[in-house]
């Protein structure tokens, strides 16, 4: 398990112009509390979906603000209030710390061990590196294996073309995005495009259009293009666990619709809301989910995406140097 998790999701989004900024508040503990509460009340996209009574949370936390003695305690209190959203995309950033909600993966099995993937059965110590991918042939050269740990790592068509050529005699391909906490939606779309024959509607997004908890636009299609230059036409298995979050969640959702794709491992961590940031009177920034995203059947992806084949690491396999999830992927391909 990674000790430090960076969860980011970047995209260019045109937000409706009818969104209003909350009323200005004074730079006091109570003023900053009210500003934060109002931002979530008017801009956060999952209050109704998650059945959260935000008014009652205000009632519970507001009296505690008067007991605050310093900024550290104030940040802790505001963080506790934001934890009620149960959202890994919600953070409050100060100059000295940031709040984060990590129970979306901490309460689940890791289902990933870096020591396993770097043993000689898989990547070993002579693996190749290109565009953020670590890759090698496994199973006596029959299967291609690519580990991609961060959707912030840029890659090009040239990187992918060389990897595909390297794997041209393999029966299938494994893309391991376990423990990938997210990054750029552009890279998610680009990576998925190599596994589609035609442009495909793989999901939808809605935007906030007003201050009401359910004031949203009509669904906007999210399309996955088919790469014009690179096409992988053999089986591809995507490996997931609970730390597959945010942009990785988006990639898995796209690959669910890939003609030859199959998702193996554990349910992803979710993070289906596109983040937006606002500033409090004291200069702290709050990041929150602003635009809900859905799969092709208009089902929310906020809580994660189920694999096609659920597999967990087996302790006996692990002790013997085998990654149970990779081994199942090899079996499915063969």
- Close Cβ partners of 156 (under 8 Å, ≥ 6 residues apart): 131
| pLDDT score at 22 | 60
Taking 50 as the pLDDT cut, the residues of the chain under it are: 1-18
- Same domain as 255, residue 151: yes
The closest alpha carbon to 87, from 279, 282, 287, belongs to 287
Domain holding 306: CATH number? 3.90.226.10
- Same domain as 117, residue 256: yes
- Same domain as 69, residue 18: yes
Residue 316 lies in a domain: yes
- Domain holding 219, by residue range, is 109-271+292-333
- Token pair for 7: 């969860």
- Same domain as 179, residue 126: yes
Look at residues 105, 126, 154 and tell me which one is the last residue of a structural domain.
Answer: 105
Residue 13 lies in a domain: yes
- Same domain as 319, residue 222: yes
Q: How many other β-carbons are positioned within 10 Å of the β-carbon of residue 124?
A: 12
Residue 280 lies in a domain: no
Could you report the per-residue pLDDT of 290-331, keeping only the tens digit for each?
999 999 999 999 999 999 999 999 999 999 999 999 999 999
Cα gap 94→250, rounded to integer Å: 28
The closest alpha carbon to 2, from 174, 203, 149, belongs to 149
- Same domain as 40, residue 140: no
Name the E strands within the chain: 9-10, 91-93, 128-130, 133-138, 143-148, 172-176, 183-184, 200-205, 220-224, 236-240, 261-265, 273-279, 285-295, 309-310
The residue to which tokens 């294996």 are assigned: 145
SS3 96: coil
Cα gap 241→256, rounded to integer Å: 15
Residue 88 lies in a domain: yes
Cα gap 254→143, rounded to integer Å: 22
Residue 286 lies in a domain: no
- Same domain as 323, residue 299: yes
- Close Cβ partners of 63 (under 8 Å, ≥ 6 residues apart): none
- Same domain as 230, residue 125: yes
Look at residues 86, 105, 124 and tell me which one is the last residue of a structural domain.
Answer: 105
Q: Tell me how far apart the 2 most distant CA atoms of the chain are, in Å.
A: 68
Percent of the residues in the chain that have a pLDDT greater than 70, as a whole number: 93
- Same domain as 144, residue 101: no
Q: Is the dihedral of CA 208, 214, 218, 223 positive or negative?
A: positive
The closest alpha carbon to 113, from 103, 100, 104, 122, belongs to 122
Number of domains in the chain: 2
Residue 68 lies in a domain: yes
Look at residues 60, 85, 105 and tell me which one is the last residue of a structural domain.
Answer: 105
Could you report the per-residue pLDDT of 119-144, keeping only the tens digit for each?
999 999 999 999 999 999 999 999 99
Burial level of 315, CB count in 10 A (0-12/13-18/19+)? exposed
- Close Cβ partners of 60 (under 8 Å, ≥ 6 residues apart): none
Burial level of 41, CB count in 10 A (0-12/13-18/19+)? middle
């Amino acid at each position: 398990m990674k000790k430090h998790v960076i969860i980011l999701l970047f995209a260019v989004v045109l937000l409706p112009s009818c969104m209003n900024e909350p009323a200005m508040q004074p730079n006091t503990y109570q003023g900053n509390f009210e500003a934060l509460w109002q931002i979530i009340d008017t801009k956060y996209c999952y209050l109704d979906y998650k059945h959260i009574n935000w008014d009652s949370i205000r009632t519970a936390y507001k009296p505690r603000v008067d007991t605050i003695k310093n900024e550290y305690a104030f940040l802790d209190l505001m963080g506790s209030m934001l934890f009620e959203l149960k959202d890994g995309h919600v953070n409050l950033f100060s100059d000295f710390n940031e709040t984060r909600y990590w129970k979306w993966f901490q309460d689940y099995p890791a289902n990933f061990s870096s020591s396993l993937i770097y043993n000689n059965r898989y990547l070993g110590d002579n693996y190749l590196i290109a565009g953020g991918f670590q890759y090698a042939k496994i199973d006596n050269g029959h299967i291609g294996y690519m580990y991609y740990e961060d959707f912030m790592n840029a890659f090009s068509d040239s990187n992918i073309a060389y990897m595909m050529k390297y794997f041209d005699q393999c029966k299938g391909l494994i893309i391991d995005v376990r423990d990938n906490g997210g990054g750029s939606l552009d890279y998610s779309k680009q990576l998925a495009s190599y596994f589609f024959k035609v442009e495909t509607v793989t999901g939808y997004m809605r935007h906030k259009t007003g201050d009401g908890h359910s004031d949203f636009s009509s669904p906007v299609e999210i399309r996955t293009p088919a790469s014009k230059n690179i096409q992988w036409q053999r089986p591809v298995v995507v490996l997931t666990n609970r730390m597959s979050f945010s942009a990785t969640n988006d990639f898995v959702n796209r690959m669910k619709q890939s003609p030859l794709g199959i998702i193996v491992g554990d349910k992803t961590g979710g993070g289906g809301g596109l983040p937006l940031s606002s500033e409090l009177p004291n200069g702290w920034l709050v990041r929150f989910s602003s635009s809900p995203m859905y799969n092709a059947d208009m089902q929310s992806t906020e809580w994660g995406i189920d694999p096609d084949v659920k597999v967990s690491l087996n302790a006996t396999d692990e002790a013997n140097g085998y990654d149970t999830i990779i081994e199942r992927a090899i079996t499915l391909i063969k």
